[in-house]
Amino acid sequence: MTRYDWIKTQTKTIAFYLTRAKATLYSVIAGNPLTVKELVKEDSEFAELIGKIREEYNEILKILKKLEEVVEQ
């Protein structure tokens, strides 16, 4: 496998998992909005998980911005 193939395969894998994560988050929130609201209030671990998802999302956005800069050069 060439480096090009490896990068392309890894990028496809990332896209797949991000799509799955998006679908899962949507189904959890859309299907259970009141339960999610209660969980955030009553369960600090759940609230921390939401914060962790937000942190990871922000990091992914930073990496994508760098990638876009490289592509534009």
Same domain, 13 and 48: no
Q: In this structure, are 39 and 71 located in the same domain?
A: yes
Identify the domain containing residue 6 by its residue range.
Answer: 1-31
Q: Looking at the structure, do residues 37 and 68 belong to the same domain, yes or no?
A: yes
15/50 same-domain check? no
**Are 25 and 46 members of one domain?**
no
> What is the pTM (predicted TM-score) of this model?
0.69
Q: How many domains does the chain have?
A: 2
pLDDT tens-digit readout, 18-71: 999 999 888 887 778 778 888 888 888 988 988 999 999 999 999 999 989 988
Note whether 23 and 44 are same-domain residues. Answer: no
- Give exposure, 15-44, as e/b (b: 16+ Cβ within 10 Å): eeeeeeeeeeeeeeeeeeeeeeeebeeeee
